[in-house]
Amino acid sequence: MNSLNLNTKILVYSYEESKESIKKLIEEAKLAAKNAYAPYSGFHVGAAILLRNGTIIRGSNQENAAYPSGLCAERVAMYSANATYPDIAVKMIAIAASNKGVFTHQPCCPCGSCRQSILEVENRFDSAIKIIMYGTDHIYEVESIKTLLPLSFDKTSLDL
């Protein structure tokens, strides 16, 4: 029997330690969270995507009384970016969440469906997407969604 060891590298730092480009994207994600439609959970999530051409696309979670018909902020932003700029790769995404008007202390991490969707975009452009997860206590940063989704399912999984 063999074993497979997986290592995960996550940078952890404060907002004050962030580069200006990351602060800017976090602030865009926080603004996006204010546009969330979350009447059921009260959990407002915002995502801001930086494209390779410098364009920033925002998305916010959109809930629906008929669960699971809503959509997460990350996918709203990612699908909007891909629909509007289909030939421009995504460089980075920042995610921020608030509950009852207060941003969460712990970083907001993408759910499984969002991780899978981000992976598809990474593979589509053959380009890693930096993920910035904001919390008021600290920030998590990973260089690729593959860090958060090891042993992932992609188009190669469909091969015989």
Residues 48-65: pLDDT tens digits?
A: 999 999 999 999 999 999
Condensed to tens digits (0 to 9), the pLDDT of residues 74-128 reads 999 999 999 999 999 999 999 999 999 999 999 999 999 999 999 999 999 999 9
Q: Is 131 helix (H, G, I), strand (E, B) or coil?
A: strand
Active site residues: 74
Domains and CATH numbers, the chain: 12-149 (3.40.140.10)
Q: What is the reported pLDDT for 67?
A: 85
In this structure, how many other beta carbons lie within 10 angstroms of the beta carbon of residue 115? 19
Matching residue, tokens 């190669």: 156
Read off the tokens for 46: 């915002």
> What pLDDT does 72 receive?
97
pLDDT band for position 68 (50/70/90)? Answer: confident
